[in-house]
Amino acid sequence: MNCNESYTNGQSVTLKAVSDVGSVFTGWSGDCSGTNTCTVSMNALKNITATFTTTAVDLVITNMVITPASPSANDFFDISVTVKNFAKKALDAGDLTIWKSQTNLGTCGALGNARTRVGTLAVGASRTLTARLRVPNGNLYCAGIY
């Protein structure tokens, strides 16, 4: 994006680079340098470039809702998961799998309780999928795209 603005001679201008999801700010070039905010005195024409690099994030779970929020052991609950494509092209998002039997904090067991096809998502598109599960003796659940 090009930006042309007029400023009073000697006016101080501060620029802050804000990256979108799927990219990271890697630095300034031209009349600014570094990776913090850029402040320049407008005493001449300035040429400043903010550089961003795309990250490996293409498909992201942007929202997960469990209804009811605190299901009791052996009760049914619905889990709605929203998947968004942050890539620069349409992607086949594969399957969404929800497991039971979490064995270690931060990892999931290998027993799949619900699997549904996410399918192809256009650039920037989201899809929300809902599964109905039963809470087995109060075990925790986690979700992932595979």
Q: Which residues pair with 142 in a beta bridge?
A: 99
pLDDT in tens, 118-129: 889 999 999 998
pTM: 0.51
pLDDT in tens, 22-63: 678 999 999 999 999 999 999 998 999 999 987 766 888 888
What are the structural domains of the chain?
A: 11-54 (no CATH), 59-145 (2.60.40.10)
Spatial distance between the Cα atoms of 16 and 35, rounded to a whole number of angstroms: 9
